[in-house]
Amino acid sequence: MNDQLTHLDEQGEARMVDVGAKPDTERTAIAGGAVYMQPDTLRLIREGALKKGDVLTIAKIAGIMAAKRTSDMIPLCHPIPLTKIDVELSLDEPASAVRIQATARTIGKTGVEMEALTAVSVAALTIYDMAKAVDRGMRLGDIRLLEKHGGQHGDYVAEDAP
């Protein structure tokens, strides 16, 4: 494990990493997360019965839009030309949750982990926003990097990734 924080300079000041000398490579990141809720809330989402509309479609679009704007929200992230962003949502009845998985891809000098994580986070927040009128106790959780491929640090796959 690399124990150097790359967003700090020698004096401990925040900085944006210079990636100019790095080669362009194909890079992929997959992130996941979930929104846990009451079973009745999950049923309303499944049936499309919430007043605000189709929760899953709107959350998917919100995640895609957020991934494209990651560098506007995370101060030291580089703006990245995404070649792909996909957000998948699925209902997990036994856990009473909506599972979210986002895949981000680029060909560039830096990775897309933050874009995938941002997509998952904003999709989860959107689900909360759309269903909060019926369930303010929803919990957002398990947001994490599941896989990363490409770049000089190589591949990463979470040991317990689905």
Rounded to whole angstroms, the Cα distance separating 49 from 41 reads 10
**Would you state the pLDDT for residue 24?**
85
Measured in degrees and rounded to the nearest 5, phi and psi for residue 87 equal -125, 125
Task: Give 19's strand partners.
Answer: none
Rounded to whole angstroms, the Cα distance separating 148 from 162 reads 14
pLDDT (tens place) for every residue of the chain, 162 residues total: 455 656 656 766 666 676 666 778 899 999 999 999 999 999 999 999 999 999 999 999 999 999 999 999 998 888 999 999 999 999 999 999 999 999 999 998 888 999 999 999 999 999 999 999 999 999 999 999 999 999 878 899 999 877
Rounded to whole angstroms, the Cα distance separating 13 from 3 reads 17
Active site residue 160: no
Task: Select which of 3, 9, 24, 129 is catalytic.
Answer: 129
